[in-house]
Structures are given as structure tokens and as C-alpha cells.
Amino acid sequence: MDELQKDTRLLRRNLAKGFISQDAVNEMLSALPDVADRAEWIDIDEADDDADDDDED
């Protein structure tokens, strides 16, 4: 399956139209690697405060 076919919008559309089965979607999702350890976490409140500080300049 190419990368474009993994796009969630296309998956939903193709599932709704019957082009793919829910089982195929579940199989594809279960094959995805867990990349949570590479995520960058941000504090939204802190980021908003930083933006406010920049506006004062």
C-alpha cells in the first residue's frame, strides 16, 4: 500500500464507499510502528505565554 492510500481522509472515504473493508483498515493500523518515543511534547499554555511576550515588543 503506498503512502497516499494511508491518508486518513482517503481511508475514511474509501471505507464509506466500500472500496476497502474495515478489516483491511484495522490490519493496516495494527502494522504501524509505535513512534511515541520520538514525539515532542509542548505545553500549550507556556507556548501561548511566549507568543504574548513577543507581541509586546
Number of domains present in the structure of the chain: 1
pLDDT of amino acid 3: 75
Q: What size, in residues, is the chain?
A: 57
- Kindly give the confidence (pLDDT) of every residue in the chain, 57 residues in length, as a single tens digit, with 9 standing for 90 and above: 577 777 889 999 999 999 999 999 999 889 989 999 999 988 988 876 666 666 565
Give CA–CA dist 46/36, Å, rounded.
Answer: 22
pLDDT of amino acid 51: 66
Give CA–CA dist 27/2, Å, rounded.
Answer: 15
Domain span including residue 13: 3-55
Give CA–CA dist 42/48, Å, rounded.
Answer: 11
Cβ atoms of 31 and 9 closer than 8 Å: no
Give CA–CA dist 55/57, Å, rounded.
Answer: 6
